[in-house]
Every structure is written in structure tokens, then in C-alpha cells.
Amino acid sequence: MMTVDPVRWGGAAAAVAAYAGMCLTLLRARRAAGKRPQDSGGAAADWLVAYASQTGTGEALAGHTVATLRTGGLSARAISVEQLDEATLRGAARILFIASTYGEGDAPDSAARLARLLDDPGMALGQLHYALLALGDSTYANYCGFGRRLDAALQARGAQALFARIEVDRGRGAAIEAWQHHLSHLAGTSDAPDWSAPAYGDWRIAARRLLNPGSAGAPVYRIDLLPAAGELPAWEAGDLVQVSAPGDPDYPREYSIASTMAEGCLSLLVRLHARDDGSLGLASGWLCREAREGAPVLLRVRQHSRFRIGDNTQRPLILIGNGTGIAGLRAHLQRRAEAGQARNWLLFGERQAAHDHFCAGDIAAWRQAGMLDAVSLVFSRDGGSERYVQHALAAQAAELRAWVADGAAIYVCGSLQGMAGAVHATLETVLGADTVAVLDQAGRYRRDVY
Ligand SMILES: Cc1cc2nc3c(=O)[nH]c(=O)nc-3n(C[C@H](O)[C@H](O)[C@H](O)COP(=O)(O)O)c2cc1C
């Protein structure tokens, strides 16, 4: 489904005229870019592909975009918008932006600097030609909110669009094909590399266990999966999977992986979602209830580089989460235990210790093995003085400062509403907003929130 503003595509004649105009603009842009026998790939690339991506879809599309431009002999390089500094932005002649949206119409974490730069009324970008691929999900009220704001801000600063913004609804192929089509024109090639998403693999449910019997919240299941044949594919702690549910194969659901490869199976923690009318969510209902043990599952592993350990291996880790967010934190803690990295502090929140103490056995085992320095468990309905993880964090402000001074990295996994925003605000209160921004820039503050 192509989701470009319908007004722009209102009449066939207008569309044809617009298309002809666009081709002219592209032709000019291509001439201006000049053809290179081979790509320098260096800092002086003619085309920058700047991605603002949270979970890697935009980053992967940026890689494909660069590859397509290079196929046509153009010099191109992909960078995260985190690396887009003021001098680069003011000096760039051509940038292709790929921007996803998070929260309720928010920018991904990596886009904080870009948003600040574009807020500067003194920023003039008359020299810049750009195009924008906005990634989003039309079930959110603020569909492609950040991409749309970015587009408006670029135009307000005088930048000129090479073609109209393209919006991609939940990864739908038609919009991506439209983007590819424009790129092929830019690069003057019909020989674009294959962009197809990796195929789903055949897996099966090896085991399924209810983790919170008697909970006041919705049931959460641990689901262990194995490939139907052959070896486990490679993944790292922090990575995600996409599951294609039979009732809704076009919209894969993403889950954080809760286990390490060394454990020999891929585990997910899935909360059974019930709609207002009592019917079960399509994907979670199928995974948690309808599919039997042994049932086939179509699944693919996705790298989530922003939530991997990266170069934080030697650092102390502060791991903060709630609910099924323990999944991503569990994979990291298990990996740390396997690697003998003991400086870990887990802060985890749920409702009642008696029912919702997810991963209690793992936590006890890590503690006993000396792999967890500190554990702060907060059960909001048990009547303690600390109700949520952000309150536990605030109550231990001195420890938090000491850990960060000692080089710690902070990993947050779980719900965006209620948890991640409040944790962020607490971090800013305790550490200072500047320090949090520096940690973020340095890859020492990583989030997998949903
Ligand atoms: C927690 C969460 C919040 C989201 N909020 C929005 C939103 O407000 N508007 C929207 O259009 N898409 C929203 N999305 C969808 C993402 O923008 C979409 O999945 C995108 O393809 C992700 O790209 P990325 O992997 O490059 O970050 C949200 C996704 C998640 C997981």
C-alpha cells in the first residue's frame, strides 16, 4: 500500500505532471552528483543516507539504499542521524533520510541531536536536496509523526525535496518499491540489488509455560522455539524476532529474545493480549493458546544493534525493566553470566511477588553464582514504599551515580508508557540531562521499549 498523502496523488494528470517534474529534478540531481567509477564510501560521499531507526528496520533500508546508489556508480554512505553534526548538515548537498516513529509520534532515541539542530531558527538549508522515507504503523494515532515533522522542518529551513515523502505502513512492500524506484532513477540503474526481507524460517514450539498463574495481570507465557530442522541461527543478547502469525501474515509481530544461543533454544516471553470485547489478540492468542506444542511457527531473527552489548562488554551494566521487558534483560544477564561478567544491577518491576516474579529461578541462580551484584525488585501491588522501578531508581540515586561514575551502561527494556518515560525522567533528575545525553551518544544508554 502506498501511503503518500492522497491529496498529492489526487488526479492522474497531476500525477503524471508531477512525475515528469520529479524525473527532471532527479536527472539534475544525478548530473550534479556526477558518476563515480567506484564508491569512495568515505566522509566525502556525494549522497548521505541518514537513518533515524530504533529497532533496525530503517538501518537495514539505509544499507539497501546505499547499495542501490552504488550500483549506479554514485558515491554514497549510510550514517545514523546521531552522527549528523551541524557542519555536515549545513554542508550537505544531498541527503536521503529514513525515519521511523516511536512512542506516540515521537522521534527514535537516535534523533535527539537532529531534532535539536532543526529547532534552531538560524539553521538555513537552502543548499540541501533531500528525500524522505518515513516508517510507521497506521494503527497509531500519530502515523509517521516524526517523519512528517522532519519533512516539514526540512522544508521550513529551505531544503528542497527531490520527490514527495514516502510513508511505509508496517513494512508494506509497495511503498518500499516506490522508494526503490526513485533510487533507481537517481542512480540511473535498473540493476538494483535484491531488497527482499530475509525469508522466515520454519520453527516449532518446543515448550510453553505460563509464568504468572494467579496474576492480576494478563497471562505471560515463556515459549521455547527450535528450528524445524538444522542448527539454531546466530543471534546476540538484545536481538529480536519477527513472528508471522497465520491469521495476519502481512504484519509480523516483534518480540525480544529472552535466551542466549548457548541455552540451545530461542525463548520468548509473550503476554496474552485480550481486546476490549474479550477476544484474544491474533498473534499472542495464537502463540499462547491456539498453537499446540510442536506446532510450526514462521519466524526470523532480527539484529537489534541498538540494544546489543556492543562495546559495553567490559562495563558494569544497570538493567532496568518491567513486565515482559525482562525478556531482553534476561538474555543480557544470561550472556553476562556465561561470560563471567559479574558487575550487573537488575531493577525489575511487576505487580505481585507471589504471582509475577518472572525469572525468579534465574535471578536466584545468578545471585548465587555471584553474577548479580544488586537486585531491586519492585512489586507495585504489594504495598511497599517503592511502587515502580523509577521510584526504586530514585531511592538509590547515590548508587546510580556511583555506578555511572564507574563506567556503567544502562539498558532499559519494557513498556514505553509508564515505565521508560518515567525511568528516563528519573535518570535526568539524578544524573542530569546532559549526562544522560552524553551516555546516549556514547552508546551507554540503550533502550528496547514498546
Ligand atoms: C513502541 C512503539 C511505538 C510506535 N509508535 C509509532 C507511532 O506513534 N507512529 C507510527 O507511525 N509508528 C509507530 N511505531 C511503528 C514504527 O515506527 C515502525 O515499526 C517502524 O518500521 C520501525 O522502524 P525502525 O526499526 O527503523 O525503528 C511504533 C513502534 C513501536 C514498537
- Average pLDDT of the chain to the nearest whole number: 88
* Cell numbers linked to 266: 530461542
Residue 193 lies in a domain: no
Q: Report ipTM for this prediction.
A: 0.95
Residue 19, pLDDT > 80, answer no
Confidence of residue 4 (pLDDT cuts 50, 70, 90): very low
Query: The domain that contains 435 carries what CATH number?
Result: 3.40.50.80
Residue 195 lies in a domain: no
Is 314 found in the same domain as 288?
A: no
Q: How far apart are CA 404 and CA 406, in angstroms?
A: 5
The answer to whether the beta carbons of residues 422 and 325 sit under 8 Å apart is no
Structural domain including 92 reads 6-187
Mutate to test the pocket of ligand 1, among 54, 149, 242 (most ligand atoms within 8 A of CB): 54
Query: The domain that contains 14 carries what CATH number?
Result: 3.40.50.360
Q: Average the pLDDT over 75-84 and give the result.
A: 96
Which stretches of 263-360 are assigned E, i.e. beta strand?
266-271, 296-302, 317-322, 344-350
Pocket of ligand 1 (CB under 6 A): 53-58, 100-105, 108, 135-137, 140, 142-145, 171, 416, 450
Query: Is pLDDT larger for residue 87 or for residue 23?
Result: 87
* Cell numbers linked to 240: 529480536
pLDDT score recorded for residue 44: 63
pLDDT score recorded for residue 29: 32
pLDDT score recorded for residue 7: 27
Distance from Cα 300 to the centre of ligand 1, integer Å: 19
Edge-to-edge strand order for the sheet containing 240-244?
Answer: 253-256, 240-244, 296-302, 201-210, 220-227, 266-271
Point out the domain boundary residue: 279, 303, 327.
303
pLDDT tens digits for 96-118? 999 999 988 999 999 999 999 99
Mutate to test the pocket of ligand 1, among 65, 98, 101 (most ligand atoms within 8 A of CB): 101
List the residue whose alpha carbon is closest to atom 28 of ligand 1: 102
pLDDT score recorded for residue 343: 98
Residue 209, pLDDT > 60, answer yes
Query: The domain that contains 277 carries what CATH number?
Result: 2.40.30.10
Residue 194 lies in a domain: no
pTM of the model: 0.76
Question: Which sign does the torsion angle of CA 185, 97, 251, 227 carry?
Answer: positive
Q: Which residue blocks in 170-214 are alpha helix, DSSP H?
A: 173-187
Residue 299 lies in a domain: yes
Is 289 found in the same domain as 182?
A: no
Q: How far apart are CA 71 and CA 47, in angstroms?
A: 13
Question: Which residues fall within 8 angstroms of residue 243, CB to CB, at 6 or more apart?
Answer: 252, 253, 254, 255, 268, 283, 287, 297, 298, 299
Query: Half-sphere exposure (CA, 13 Å, Cβ side) for 449?
Result: 26
Confidence of residue 3 (pLDDT cuts 50, 70, 90): very low
Confidence of residue 310 (pLDDT cuts 50, 70, 90): very high
Least confidently predicted of 63-67, 128-132, 311-315, 446-450? 446-450
Q: Residue 321, SS3?
A: strand
Q: Average the pLDDT over 49-58 and give the result.
A: 94
Residue 196 lies in a domain: no
pLDDT tens digits for 267-294? 999 999 999 899 999 999 999 999 999 9
Confidence of residue 196 (pLDDT cuts 50, 70, 90): confident
* Cell numbers linked to 87: 557542519
